[in-house]
Amino acid sequence: MWRPILLLIAAVHFANALMMWFAPHTWYETVPGVAMMGPFNLHFVRDIALVFGMSAGALAYGTLKYDRTAAICGAVWPALHALFHIWIWFARGVPLDQIAFANLIGIQTPAWLALAAALNFTRKEIRT
């Protein structure tokens, strides 16, 4: 049950990393709330792309090699990132707007789902 979830989230993180790396201006301009965090910074966007790429790689490797530790390592970045975005949401006054919705769908749900999947990931379950 957890394997497809981990692979899907790995693919989403990898796609996000590719967009951030190869189309950073488009990513900056189209992701709700990003531009309100400050001016475009290519170095910063590409740094984050590398972290999303690493997360995708660890999630995929952990899933494909039946390595729970690697899967957990891949899920840690999204979970920490999600916690930071919860803090930002509170700092914004807890609005229920497009940015909060994008945060829920694009950051919170995949992050906590990946962490739950990685923590519940077992060799026995995947081989069945």
- pLDDT number for residue 128: 47
The answer to whether residues 117 and 6 touch, using CB atoms and an 8 Å cutoff, is yes
Q: How far is CA 2 from CA 8, 63, 68, 87, 125, in A?
A: 10, 9, 11, 28, 8
- pLDDT number for residue 122: 73
The answer to whether residues 32 and 98 touch, using CB atoms and an 8 Å cutoff, is yes
- pLDDT number for residue 106: 92
User: What total number of domains does the chain contain?
Assistant: 1
- pLDDT number for residue 1: 81
Closest by Cα among 13, 6, 21, 4 to 56:
13
The reply to whether the predicted model has a pTM over 0.85 is yes
Q: Which residues of the chain have pLDDT under 50?
A: 126, 128
- pLDDT number for residue 121: 83
Rounded CA gap, 38 and 51, in Å? 20
Q: How far is CA 85 from CA 6, 8, 60, 101, 104, in A?
A: 21, 22, 24, 12, 9
Residue 46 structural domain:
2-127
What average pLDDT does the structure give for the chain?
A: 93
Rounded CA gap, 9 and 75, in Å? 9
The answer to whether residues 2 and 125 touch, using CB atoms and an 8 Å cutoff, is yes
- pLDDT number for residue 92: 93
Q: How far is CA 33 from CA 88, 99, 122, in A?
A: 10, 5, 37
